[in-house]
Structure 1
Amino acid sequence: MKIYFTLAEANALLPLVKLELEKLQGIKKQYRDKYEELHQLKDYHQKQGGLPEGSDPYFTLECEMDFLQLEGNTLLSSFELKGVQLKDIDSGLIDFPALLNGQEVLLCWRQGEESVAHYHGLHDGFAGRRKLTEE
């Protein structure tokens, strides 16, 4: 079953969407940082001629990364279950499927905007977005 949002419904959901988006952005940053740390550690041990016998200095970092990935996937599923389309994590681009004058469109919001105030066609993307007019 396809979920369509009214403008009021999309804007009512926005506080939760913003919160989840910020959490997801934080998780992505933490993951990137730990990934970089892991590769620096591996490079260091490679230059040192390998690991000391019986040690695994990567285990904790790898477990932390696995947990972050699980947490991130849970948040991504949360967007999906609501019927909200997360288009870009970094720029905070979110679409809400809607019907406008009988046509399927995507109500479009970008992080930093006060409310959902734009839309675009299903295949137009962000570049084709237009301001919603009061009707």
Structure 2
Amino acid sequence: MERKLFTPSEANELLPQLKEDLAILQTLVGQIENQYLELQKIKTMSEKSSVRSASGEDPFFEIESKLDFMQIETELLINNFERRGVMLKMINPGLIDFPAVLNGEEILICWREGEESVTHYHGWDDGFAGRKALPDA
């Protein structure tokens, strides 16, 4: 599959939907973290208690099932970024790269959560630390 290349205007056009998807993903990741901590707490309490479920049911089934479902949702959301041709580098804080070409060189237009639009880029090997302002930014 050929990689999609973006212009800064194309990246900015896509940004509102990406921000929305990122917010959903961040909320979901927070919920997963909370559910996981709750599961660990319940397991610890269960291990300390000699009382077992009288019905013989798995006391962790429901919360583990929720976690599995949320994990699948998370993977689908992350894949949505990939399907659009963008690279989700970090969820918290949000960091998204858009493959592009500048002066004949392949680069990554870089957006970080909190920025209104794309204004920076870096080389494929430079990473976030190597960010430079886009010429027309």
Asked whether the equivalents of residues 53 and 59 of structure 2 are also in contact (C-alpha less than 8 Å), the reply is no
Q: Distance in 2 between matches of 1:134 and 1:30?
A: 39
Runs of 4+ off more than 3 Å: none
Residue identity (%): 49
User: Residue type matched to 2:27 in 1?
Assistant: G
Q: What is the 5 A alignment of 1:98-113?
A: 98-113=100-115
SS at match of 1:62: helix
Partner of 1:117: 119
Structure 2 runs not aligned, ≥5 long: none
Partner of 1:20: 21
Instruction: Tell me the TM-score normalized by structure 2.
Output: 0.95
Q: Size of the alignment, in residue pairs?
A: 135
Structure 1 runs not aligned, ≥5 long: none
Q: Distance in 1 between matches of 2:46 and 2:92?
A: 32
Instruction: Tell me the TM-score normalized by structure 1.
Output: 0.96
Q: Distance in 1 between matches of 2:78 and 2:17?
A: 13
Q: Distance in 2 between matches of 1:42 and 1:97?
A: 44
User: Residue type matched to 1:75 in 2?
Assistant: L
User: Residue type matched to 2:15 in 1?
Assistant: L
SS at match of 1:66: helix
Q: Distance in 1 between matches of 2:100 and 2:51?
A: 56
Q: Distance in 1 between matches of 2:94 and 2:50?
A: 43
Q: Which shifted more, 85-94 or 52-61?
A: 52-61
Asked whether the equivalents of residues 123 and 130 of structure 2 are also in contact (C-alpha less than 8 Å), the reply is yes
1:49-87 per-residue CA deviation (whole Å, 9 max, x = no partner) reads: 252241322111111101100100000110111110000
Q: Distance in 1 between matches of 2:50 and 2:107?
A: 58
